[in-house]
Chain A
């Protein structure tokens, strides 16, 4: 990591661009060890991007502002249900029009939940948010207006860009007869040879039923945008206020940070991103029911954030990738998936208590603490602690 930092700026930029291109090309390349046998690789990658998005959102709440949220799936559900109602169940809007409403509804839900509960301290917040997540799901289960147990189907897909019959560009719902602007062939990995498989192609920007790669591209684009926004907000006054609140609420308040306002803002921002992810997820699935929003998912999301290293955006992306991808990759051990996942969580917690990639500030603080201790006691007995 330090080597990368030392590189000249253009090289760094080129590195990141290359990485992004690689990420976009991943489902086309279908590299042998990484790709998932038995499950559609594009679909898995789409789910990974959704987890990344959610992890980034939850990271703002848990990592930056230090608010333990066990009901994040509630926001995800509000976003998904708003999109579903507006595009299919009670209206017939196109997806792109419903997205702002879904996001707005989720943000408002975040404010409504946050305004009373953020006055409650730490762990109480955890149980209140957990309750909120369950209430959202149970209301959806029991309300006919929300499609009760049966759920909502025919949710609008994103608009496809296609070549029309007269050769012009058509934007709209994907139709079986129409093809994309161009086709991208996938790679085929044989025994030691790599071939371009012209039979297996992806239509560029046709959001159909089978091929999930365009959804992945959409998801990845949103993730990159949110990453950028996350970078800007973290390095702003708001980001510093969040971290100050997390480290010591009273001290922050004394320094003139209106902590309640900033906690509420963190909650709303997190809800915003969660709602966005929910709406995209609903659109891809085209069908949602309350079982898509079990409490278990809140826990998985939190696991993604904490395992990756809360507070570090790259860490939580890795965490999200692991939580979403590993169970799909090792489907052969289907029965034992949850068991192994649980054992991995325990092992990880014990071996790396700060998460896989703790934020630099945490590492620095630990090091300083250690140095102080050496100064005080005069001998170096906690060498392991310093290496975090």
Chain B
């Protein structure tokens, strides 16, 4: 193994920015894991699929509006981006709510062991991913494949959209930085702050925190647990949709199983920051993204994922509850 110190140090700022952009996406997905975990102590394994559906919503919106994508600018571009974001968030939120209704609520009602809820989540994840991967067969079965050919063909391979954002690189202090990266980081951090403040200050957020602390007592105080759990999934889904949109801006390519690795990474980020802790998810995501990118520069691209997991193991050894500790229930205003 060769260590490419030279490359790492000469490109440190650029690598950090790209890492932060990846990390911001991880953080947004991690939010869904961490909130559901905080409230239900359940690893929402199917959350990666919620994200994946968001990427397709973005892709198809861009296809439908621009034909091939690209070649638009100004106000039109802004509208397309806004609509893409809204579609992705709506789709992901719907999937997340459906997931809660079908795969989790019956189990929560029965007070089932937590491990079986994980199995249900895994099953739901398989179903959701395969439905997307088999969409050509499913639509052919319904008889719609001719009309939807464009959207359902090549169901098991990568699908790309052309670059929508073709703005020139930004020049800050002699560094040229991709506009997309800046956009992704700024948008992700803004959204994290909104959610954080929402959970901290709103009545609903107080309900979520109360349920995370003690579901029964919260119910006695007039918090509807089922409703609260629904809202938790809804917020997680919305953020996953936003993450999917930003991911498509940056990567521009998606596939039916794209969620799996990203989901694992995002969950890693959530654990890294302290699961159940919203600010921890942000910190964990950013740390993971940057560490991965530096590691890739240092050891080579094929060691990227190894760096992420080794980092996780090492941090958990020294801080067994993650960087910021677990605290959705304990968050104070």
Contacts and interface: CB of A to CB of B under 8 A. Distances in A.
Interface in A116-146: 116-117, 119-121, 123-124, 126-128, 130-132, 134-135, 138-139, 141-142
Interface string A330-348: 0000011011011111111
Contact of A353 (B116, B130, B267, B308): B116
A68 interface: yes
B75 interface: no
Interface stretch (B15-23, B121-129, B172-180): B121-129
Interface string B35-53: 0010001010000000000
B251 interface: no
A299 interface: yes
A105 interface: no
A342 B320 contact: no
B124 A342 contact: yes
B127 A354 contact: no
Interface string B101-115: 011001100101101
A121 B320 contact: yes
Interface residues of A, number: 46
B320 A131 contact: no
A26 interface: no
A346 B115 contact: no
Interface residues of B, number: 46
A350 B115 contact: no
Contact of A126 (B43, B113, B130, B320): B43
A350 B313 contact: no
Interface stretch (A82-90, A211-219, A302-310): A302-310
Interface stretch (B76-84, B205-213, B298-306): B298-306
B218 interface: no
By secondary structure, the A interface counts as: helix
A278 interface: no
A307 B119 contact: yes
B309 A134 contact: yes
Given A127-B268, A130-B264, A342-B127, A302 B119 contact: yes
Nearest to A133: B309
B88 to A, nearest CB: 23
B127 A124 contact: no
B305 A134 contact: yes
Contacts of A18: none
B107 A349 contact: yes
Interface string A352-388: 0111000000000000000000000000000001000
Contact of A141 (B107, B302, B312, B316): B302
B86 to A, nearest CB: 29
Contacts of B124: 342, 346
Contacts of A339: 126-127, 130-131, 134
B127 to A, nearest CB: 4
Contact of A128 (B110, B113, B131, B312): B312
Interface in A260-318: 295, 299, 302-303, 306-307, 310
Nearest to A294: B260
A306 B115 contact: yes
Among A68, A338, A344, A349: residue with most chain B CB under 10 A? A349
Contact of B119 (A134, A335, A345): A345
B256 to A, nearest CB: 11
B316 A120 contact: yes
A334 to B, nearest CB: 11
Nearest to B312: A131
A68 B115 contact: yes
Nearest to B37: A123
Interface in B247-277: 260, 264, 267-268, 271, 275
Given A120-B320, A335-B137, A353 B126 contact: no
A302 B122 CA distance: 10
Contacts of A338: 126, 129-130
A355 B113 CA distance: 10
A62 interface: yes
28 contacts: A117-B313, A120-B316, A120-B320, A123-B41, A126-B43, A131-B268, A131-B313, A132-B313, A142-B302, A142-B306, A299-B122, A303-B122, A306-B116, A306-B118, A335-B137, A338-B126, A342-B124, A343-B127, A346-B102, A347-B123, A348-B119, A349-B103, A349-B116, A349-B123, A350-B120, A353-B113, A354-B112, A385-B110
